Amino acid sequence: MQPIKRELETKTMILNMGPSHPTMHGALRTQLELDGETIVKAASEMGYLHRCFEKHSEHSTYQQIIPYTDRLNYLSALMNNVGYCKAVEELLEVPVTERCILIRVIMCELSRIIDHLVCVGTNLVDIGALTNFWYFFNVREEVYTIIEKVTGARLTYAYTRIGGLARDVYPDFGRDTKAVLKNVEKAVKDVSGLILNNRIFVERTVDVGVVTKEEAINWGFTGPCLRASGVAHDLRKAEPYYFYDEFDFEIPIAENGDTYDRIVVRFEEIRQSTRIIHQAIDRLKPGPIDSGDPRVTLPPKEEVYGSIEGLMNHFKLIMHGILPPKGEIYSATEAANGELGFYIISDGSMRPYRIKVRPPCFPIFAAYEKIIEGEMIADAVAVLGTLNIVVGELDR
Amino acid sequence: MNLKRFFGDTILTTQVDAVLGWGRKYSLWPMPYGTACCAIEFMGTVSAAFDISRFGAEVVRFSPRQSDLLLVMGTINYKQAPVLKKIYEQMCEPKWVVAVGACAASGGFYNNYSVVQGIDEVIPVDVYVPGCPPRPEQIIDAVMKIQKKIDKGTLHVNP
Amino acid sequence: MSILDTLKQKFPDAILSAAQDHGHDVVVVDRKKIFEVLQFLKNNSECPFEMLLDLCGVDYLGKDPRFEVVYHLYSLSKIKRLRLKVALPESDLTIPSAVTLWEAVNWFEREAFDMFGIHFEGHPNLKRLLMWEEFEGYPLRKDYPIDKRQAIPTLDDIV
């Protein structure tokens, strides 16, 4: 956008959109240099929610880190659990049963749905469309009810374990989930009917915050923000894991890379996630959820009290914990925001030597100050919502 | 309001206290100072399923100058603490503070170089809500406890 | 020809080791030639690595050289990953910055500087990212205790 040329002598003003701000979703800070309403230059700052996940992981055992991973991206906490356990399982080379994989896929896709619901809902509140927030949160409560019946918690679950899951799903899980997914699709249909052709919404979001394909790749974007800029890349199709190559679903791609595209890509991803969940539920067969590998799974109580091997195995696992071999691994999954990577270095002891989390929104927030240059303040607000910066993940 | 100086602690001032308390407690204007996961549970509290507006606390204003109940939700770390203090000082009397969640109450399970071990190291707190994150019903319970506290309050400003 | 063989052929003295680890390609590079290697990896036509996914530092306390910088590169067109590791001694903790090749690396390098004290030559704005400006020490080093707290800072302008 071109700043309007004036004959008058003007000075720019510095405005602080500080860590406590209605539209700053979480503790983010951006200082803007303004010429009227137009942003001439911007500088962002983060670190207001730095909770030292990486330092804590050096002082905790592998199982104790699982609750810490929940709080990384707290909107879709199960994906962090799954990502972390997948990394440790790959380091240990431990097999995981089919039922466990399918339940993890269902939980991940449910988490992706609720993450997108919050992202789009709060973004619409910032633009001014408040009703959609209520519609989305009603559906989110229904999804919470199911997840609470399975895991016991509403927001932070610690549901996965290394080599399996904490507990199996309840018998009517498939039927309840399918009923809730109908409501999810209805809510998405209602909201998209309300906003996608609404003139105010279109004027506020089309051609706002445009990110071209080359810029997105150069800035390290992944996930819906990358796909909205036209790059057809999704880890579930490019490097499939957990049976994603056997499910029938599509990856939504948009062309412009503006705010409108990022919102529409998220709507479409919710629909595709419901498809995946339906297929996964149909494929679910009775079976064990733990691999039974003695390096990671506690033996059943009959064996612990019945045989000496079971007792010794139980004792070793409780006293010494899980002992991966010396080495390192980088494991990535397609989280709601993009590629969530865990780089784990193990020195053979029961605590990891170093864990580095590659948060998907870190490069995205780094680019925020460049995206909003030349835009107006109101556009900066609209853009921030679609980038879906979750500060727990950003600052770790 | 220095009515107590003129009338002393009599039936007149206690009746005015009661009416003002009734007005204040049923029209709390919360300021959600949400930093982390607990803020998402607060979003659930204001949504239609749990609905904090039944208790009068519907007008959620993100400006400290326009609110009287500060809900601190989420971890506060050393970089954020001066900001929290500034926001608290910008609020006008009478004001109440609720520490929602384990991190705001005591630092949670983050005992490290960056996290303040409880916001009462920085500002005075009225009600603590345990939980990680607490259920929406617990947050509503905290608002009800603030309402009870306002009932017992007087015309004097909070010390 | 695999990327490991290409690298070994083109930079025989700079590549200290090239192997596969759990199915991923890992290359250990000499610090003096890291910028040329990264430039070659980004611009070569056989397998261009258009995206830099991650950069982190590691502290191997007790070993010499003590620190290591790890790059994770990704090729979108060929769907290939590569991990590069560069060892840095504590006495000379500098490495050329890769910010002219991939813009994404800007904040990753700031974070490595903040957490470990690794200095990136040629970085436009090497300031602390997660901790505050007056913080002393580098928190993720192994000799920094987890609960060593420092005085609360004041706010400042960043533009």
State pLDDT tens for residues C74-101.
998 888 899 999 999 988 889 999 999 9
Is B99 part of any domain? yes
Query: What's the CATH code of the domain at A269?
Result: 1.10.645.10
Predicted confidence band of residue A2 (pLDDT cuts 50, 70, 90): low
Is A226 part of any domain? yes
B90 touches chain C (CB under 8 A): no
Q: Omega before C96 cis (within 30°)?
A: no
**Distance from A192 to chain C by nearest Cα, in Å?**
32
Which residues from chain A sit within 8 angstroms of residue C58, using beta carbons?
345, 354
Q: How far apart are CA A369 and CA C110, in angstroms?
A: 16
Cβ within 8 Å, pair A52-B83: no
**Subunits in contact with chain C (3 or more CB pairs closer than 8 Å):** A, B
Is B43 part of any domain? yes
Q: How far apart are CA B3 and CA A214, in angstroms?
A: 69
Length of chain A (residues): 396
- Chain A residue whose CA is closest to C130: A47
Taking residues A183-211, report their average pLDDT.
91
Where do runs of H (alpha helix) occur along chain A? 53-59, 65-70, 77-92, 98-127, 131-151, 173-195, 199-205, 213-218, 224-228, 235-238, 259-283, 301-306, 308-320, 361-371, 377-387, 391-395
Number of domains into which chain A is organized = 1
Query: What's the CATH code of the domain at B40?
Result: 3.40.50.12280
Rg of chain B's alpha carbons, rounded to an integer? Answer: 16
Predicted confidence band of residue B158 (pLDDT cuts 50, 70, 90): very low
C108 touches chain A (CB under 8 A): yes
pLDDT at A27: 84
B46 by Cβ neighbours in 10 Å (0-12 / 13-18 / 19+) ranks as buried
Cβ within 8 Å, pair A154-B34: no
Q: How far apart are CA C142 and CA C113, in angstroms?
A: 15
**Distance from C137 to chain B by nearest Cα, in Å?**
11
A74-105 core/surface letters (b: 16 or more CB in 10 A; e: else): bbbbbbbbbbbbbbbbbbbebebbebbbbbbb
Is A148 part of any domain? yes
Predicted confidence band of residue C109 (pLDDT cuts 50, 70, 90): very high
Cβ within 8 Å, pair A329-C106: no
pLDDT at A85: 93
Using alpha carbons only, what angle is made at residue A103 by residues A322 and B45, rounded to the nearest 5 degrees?
A: 100
Instruction: Tell me the pTM.
Output: 0.92
Which A positions 198-237 lie with beta carbon below 8 A of chain C? 217-220, 222, 231, 233
pLDDT single digits (tens) A86-110? 999 999 999 899 999 999 999 999 9
Of B118, B138, B125, B142, nearest to B50 by C-alpha is B138
Which residues from chain A sit within 8 angstroms of residue B75, using beta carbons?
49, 51
For residues C123 and C116, the answer to whether their CB atoms sit within 8 Å is no
pLDDT single digits (tens) B75-116? 998 888 888 988 999 998 888 999 999 999 998 889 888 899
Q: How far apart are CA A80 and CA A335, in angstroms?
A: 8
pLDDT at A24: 61
Checking if the pLDDT of A312 tops 60, the result is yes
Nearest to C158 among A31, A59, A220 (CB): A31
Is A19 part of any domain? no
Number of domains into which chain B is organized = 1
Q: Omega before A224 cis (within 30°)?
A: no
Taking residues A266-283, report their average pLDDT.
94
Is B21 part of any domain? no
pLDDT at A276: 94
Q: How far apart are CA A191 and CA A127, in angstroms?
A: 14
Nearest to A45 among C102, C105, C158 (CB): C158
Using alpha carbons only, what angle is made at residue C139 by residues C119 and A72, rounded to the nearest 5 degrees?
A: 105
Nearest to B132 among A52, A144, A156 (CB): A156
Is A28 part of any domain? no
Which one of B38, B59, B73, B75 makes the best mutation probe of the A interface by having the most chain A beta carbons within 10 Å?
A: B75
Taking residues B1-19, report their average pLDDT.
69
Cβ within 8 Å, pair B113-C153: no
Q: Which fold has domain C3-92?
A: Beta Polymerase; domain 2 (3.30.460)
Structural domain including B144 reads 27-148
Is A306 part of any domain? yes
Residue C125 phi, psi (nearest 5): -150, 70
Nearest to C159 among A43, A233, A329 (CB): A43
| A226-229, long-range: CB < 8 A, 24+ apart | A226/A338, A227/A251, A227/A252, A227/A253, A227/A254, A227/A265, A228/A253, A228/A254, A228/A256, A228/A257, A228/A258, A228/A261, A228/A262, A228/A264, A228/A265, A229/A254, A229/A256, A229/A257, A229/A261
pLDDT at A279: 94
Largest CA-CA distance found in chain B, in angstroms, rounded: 53
Q: How far apart are CA C27 and CA C3, in angstroms?
A: 10
Which residues from chain B sit within 8 angstroms of residue C146, using beta carbons?
111-113
Which residues from chain B sit within 8 angstroms of residue C154, using beta carbons?
82
**Distance from A395 to chain C by nearest Cα, in Å?**
7
Is A4 part of any domain? no
Structural domain including A291 reads 53-395
Taking residues A120-138, report their average pLDDT.
89
A186 touches chain C (CB under 8 A): no
Query: What are the sequence ranges of the domains in chain C?
Result: 3-92
Average pLDDT score, chain A: 90
The region of weakest confidence among A246-260, A296-310, B144-158 is B144-158
User: What percent of chain A clears pLDDT 70, i.e. is strictly above it?
Assistant: 98
pLDDT at C155: 60
Cβ within 8 Å, pair A67-B114: no
A212-239 core/surface letters (b: 16 or more CB in 10 A; e: else): eeebbbbbbbbbbbbbbbbbebbbbeeb
Checking if the pLDDT of A209 tops 70, the result is yes
B54 touches chain C (CB under 8 A): no
Is A135 part of any domain? yes
Taking residues A128-148, report their average pLDDT.
90
Cβ within 8 Å, pair B111-C139: no
Is A39 part of any domain? no
Is B77 part of any domain? yes
Checking if the pLDDT of A204 tops 70, the result is yes
pLDDT at C159: 43
Of C36, B89, B38, C80, nearest to A238 by C-alpha is C80
